[in-house]
Structure 1
């Protein structure tokens, strides 16, 4: 990959593959905005039928509410893990920017499979909808595996002392894709069970998450269990 041209007034070292003008903080701010919009769009597909009462309408919308809840938590985990990851990054290169765009593309697409599953979970197309949903959610976790792999291969992009933590995170990052894609396979047998497996993984990630202080302190608690989403 070709390095970006250094700024004339501040020549970059030969090993520096950073992208001038794009800071980690700026990338996080843009990502936060996109992730927040994606989380907001999820709820727009939930509409109570006008011809039914409130409680009957809520029962009718239970599949949509369940898929909404799981997807909202998925996006929440993505946001927290993204926040955690980029607190370990001191410099952004072009590949990291492209990986981040890939993640945002996947996250911003989640309202589509969420709406699809919510409207078909109790219908004839439930299997296809559940497979579609699990694959889409699984792709969000694949990006984090790619993030950590890239950072392990480019340790100069990390804050000092974070390489060991990045390597541990890369190993644990396999958990998400494996479970989500297992949920896609399970959907062939039981679509509701597939959604339940997705929810169980989210619950596991929430329960095993470290404290916010430990998450946001660059290089802190090196060697402690990292985020696994």
Structure 2
């Protein structure tokens, strides 16, 4: 079991050595919500609006790779946000490990506009395969944090609400679909960059409609 001291409970020491206010699940969710919102907003900045002297539909058709990458990544970030809320509704207290894992996840989420813009700009070019690999690997890295979250909670069940502990191992297994699926998309990217993006899109569709919707699993469990 992890040490239950101030550091492990997410209570950093102040200048005088005394423990400060603990980081609660609500505070962590509020901070994370801001990062999710900014990352999702930045995605659209790489999609170019039709110029005044261009025909609108022709210009938008020219932007279809950027629009497709934007749509997939926006949904990925949205689903990650829902799953993040679902996970932390089942957390009773936050330790230092959870704080660090959450920072790592937010770092990869806020990074996603870069591979999205790269794929959107190169999908029809000569370096499309490299762009698709970069995109899929970035997606796999972002989704892998949820497996690490659940692994951490499985090893420290005292961090969870009692009603949530029984399903933690199953949640850890289910969380592997994202990183494994995006890794498969990276493997096929050198052969078919468009197919790689299509596989990422198929994963998103599955997460939305192929099993019980994430939003229906977001609830506060009674302790």
Q: If the length of structure 1 is used for normalisation, what is the TM-score?
A: 0.87
> Which range moved further: 127-136 or 158-167?
158-167
Q: Which residue of 1 aligns with 2:42?
A: 41
Once the two structures are TM-superposed, the CA of residue 164 in structure 1 deviates from its matched residue by 1.6
Q: Which residue of 2 aligns with 1:227?
A: none
Q: Does 1:217 align with 2:209?
A: no
Once the two structures are TM-superposed, the CA of residue 210 in structure 1 deviates from its matched residue by 3.6
Q: Distance in 1 between matches of 2:90 and 2:104?
A: 19
Once the two structures are TM-superposed, the CA of residue 53 in structure 1 deviates from its matched residue by 1.3
> Which range moved further: 18-27 or 150-159?
18-27
Deviations 1:157-213 (A, max 9, x none): 000121121111001111111110000001011000000000000000111134735
Distance 1:204 1:219, change over 3 A: farther
Distance 1:115 1:214, change over 3 A: closer
Contact 2:36–2:106 (8 Å) recurs in 1: yes
**Residue 104 of structure 2 aligns to a residue in which SS?**
helix
**Residue 218 of structure 1 aligns to a residue in which SS?**
coil
Q: Which residue of 2 aligns with 1:18?
A: 9
**Residue 162 of structure 1 aligns to a residue in which SS?**
helix
Q: Does 1:137 align with 2:148?
A: no
Deviations 1:38-73 (A, max 9, x none): 000000011135252111110110000000000000
Q: Distance in 1 between matches of 2:29 and 2:6?
A: 23
Contact 2:136–2:183 (8 Å) recurs in 1: yes
Q: Distance in 2 between matches of 1:86 and 1:41?
A: 25
Contact 1:4–1:18 (8 Å) recurs in 2: yes
RMSD over aligned CA atoms reads 1.7
Once the two structures are TM-superposed, the CA of residue 219 in structure 1 deviates from its matched residue by 6.3
Match of 2:155 among 129, 137, 153: 153
Structure 1: unaligned runs, 5 residues or longer: 7-16, 221-229
Q: Which residue of 1 aligns with 2:184?
A: 182
Deviations 1:90-124 (A, max 9, x none): 00000000000000000000000000000000000
> Which range moved further: 156-165 or 197-206?
156-165
Structure 2: unaligned runs, 5 residues or longer: 12-21
Match of 1:111 among 91, 96, 113: 113
Q: Distance in 2 between matches of 1:62 and 1:157?
A: 45
Q: Distance in 1 between matches of 2:71 and 2:183?
A: 19
Q: If the length of structure 2 is used for normalisation, what is the TM-score?
A: 0.89
State the number of aligned residues.
210
Contact 1:64–1:117 (8 Å) recurs in 2: yes
